[in-house]
Amino acid sequence: MRIAVLSDIHGNKQALEAVLADAATTGPDAVWCLGDLVGYGADPDACVELVRAHVGLCLVGNHDLAVRGDLPLAEFSRGAALAAEWTRRRISEEHLAYLAGLEPLDIGEAVGLFHASPRDPVWEYVLSSLQADLCLSTQRHRVCLVGHSHVALAFSRADGEPTTGQTRHGGTELEISRGEWLINPGSVGQPRDGDPRAAWLLLDTDRWTASWRRVDYDIGAAAAAIRAAKLPDSLAERLRHGQ
């Protein structure tokens, strides 16, 4: 089965449209999303509508939980809280109801799916080998997919070996048929690994390969929409730098 895996869209319609178009060229059997459909960006309704139309399996992220009122805004940075508050006022009831029906994990597939991590599906940022090792010891699946950190990466552990991992560039393909793996596709709408292009992952569970993809999108339009919404300028500026 070939699955296009998306995460951390964050209301960036331009990036999501570009990723969905790129994913369509690979002919996936399914499209999955690891959460955070909204937050930071200025097009929450458009992004939820696109997800509903194209994504078969979707998790909820911490920003989605904030918008639907399940997490206090005091737990977020100033920019994230302002964006969540703005989104609460703007998102349609229909799309808010869609977010309300989502969960932060799904362990019923061939791989484990978590917005953040197997240890904490909502909040943990897995960015070190030590954190990944703890997660690998917790997860029930040999391969798990996580989002949340906005960084495209993979950690692995073979029998008797320490956990290792690193960020993964677009065009990288790994053979993951052996060992344990914790994989992040990177962020569609707000990458933080120094590459401003939208990120996604093509997972093949027949061949057991993971392929990281990057795609250009209209960053200027996405930034202009953020500024037009009078959201913090930093949310627009960071898109150009992939940070």
Per-residue pLDDT of 187-218, as tens digits, reads 999 999 999 999 999 999 999 999 999 999 99
* Alpha-carbon span 36 to 136, nearest angstrom: 23
pLDDT of residue 153: 97
pLDDT of residue 160: 84
pTM: 0.96
CA 221, 227, 232, 238: dihedral to nearest 10 degrees?
Answer: 30
pLDDT of residue 165: 96
Domains contained in the chain, CATH given: 2-240 (3.60.21.10)
3-class secondary structure, 23:
helix
Q: Give me the residues of the chain with pLDDT under 50, please.
A: none
- C-beta neighbour count of 224 within 10 angstroms: 14
* Alpha-carbon span 45 to 51, nearest angstrom: 10
* Alpha-carbon span 125 to 206, nearest angstrom: 29
